[in-house]
Amino acid sequence: MLPAFSQFAVSGVAPEALQKTWKFFADGGFFMLLIILCSVLALMVIVYKMMTLTKASVVPGRLAGEVELVEAHHESDQLERLRVEFREGDSSLARLCDVAMRNEGRPLGEAKEAVQASAREEIVRMNAGLPILDVVITVAPLLGLLGTASGLVLIFGNTEDLTSGANNAKIGAGIARALGTTIAGMVVAVPSVVAHSYFTRKIETMAARLEVLLGGLVGARVTSAEGSGKMDGQQKLSQFPDAGRS
């Protein structure tokens, strides 16, 4: 493998490819520099979301199983251990369950508001970084078109060459270079759209899972209160707010 690569490099093909790549970006000028900046931002956001938007940080499997068995914990007097686990947890599920448990003694309406406020905060946290991808998706193609338009203005600025037919080859090459920024803008925008759609769908799926789990936790509270005669016919708690983009 290494000898083959060495032979490839010595032959001059690799440096030539690098020179062509450098020339492609250099011909784009200032607008190409902005597009490269957009690509770096998009890549940073994608890596950040892949590291933070994980099942372990939002809905850990083991903790979700504990929440699903919360009624059994009520009956076996193991609820205090679960409270400690919620309080010390660092996932979205743990934080929301901790809020629900800490407001257990309050009226159901007040507990509902507290959980919903915390849920909105978690949704904003899960959507962190996606607005940057929104901007890159919109701006990168526009920068490409702007770079192409400015390049064409410079190319066709010399009307003498156009009327005389001189330097047609140079004009054609200049048009090809000017279109490079449009290509670069599209190359940055397309993966950003795919990543944005993927992360948005993942957030919606995780939010739905959180809603189901919180519904079970609140339902256990309602069942427990009814069994002890503490319910006054109040309405059930709505578990989770809209999980759309913030």
Mind giving me the DSSP string for 144-170?
HHHHHHHHHHHHTT-HHHHHH-TTHHH
Which stretch of 17-21, 123-127, 220-224 has the lowest confidence by average pLDDT? 220-224
| Residue 221 in tokens | 């509270």
The one-letter amino acid at 49:
K
Q: From the centroid of its chain, how far is CA 188?
A: 15
Do 74 and 66 form a contact (C-beta atoms < 8 A)? no
pLDDT computed for residue 6 by the predictor:
44
- pLDDT over 60 (residue 129): yes
pLDDT computed for residue 62 by the predictor:
84
Do 208 and 54 form a contact (C-beta atoms < 8 A)? no
pLDDT computed for residue 237 by the predictor:
42
Do 178 and 152 form a contact (C-beta atoms < 8 A)? yes
pLDDT computed for residue 132 by the predictor:
94
- pLDDT over 60 (residue 239): no
- pLDDT over 60 (residue 109): yes
pLDDT computed for residue 56 by the predictor:
87
Distance between CA atoms of residues 49 and 196, nearest Å: 10
Do 25 and 37 form a contact (C-beta atoms < 8 A)? no
Helix (H, G, I), strand (E, B) or coil at 236: coil
- pLDDT over 80 (residue 46): yes
53-90 pLDDT tens trace: 988 888 888 888 877 777 666 665 667 777 787 888 88
Do 112 and 143 form a contact (C-beta atoms < 8 A)? no
Residues 95-111 have a mean pLDDT of 78
180-234 pLDDT tens trace: 888 889 999 999 999 999 999 999 999 988 888 887 776 666 555 555 544 444 4
pLDDT computed for residue 172 by the predictor:
67
Give the global pTM: 0.74
Do 195 and 133 form a contact (C-beta atoms < 8 A)? yes
Its sign, for the CA torsion 13, 15, 18, 20, is negative
pLDDT computed for residue 111 by the predictor:
73
Q: H or E stretch including 53?
A: none
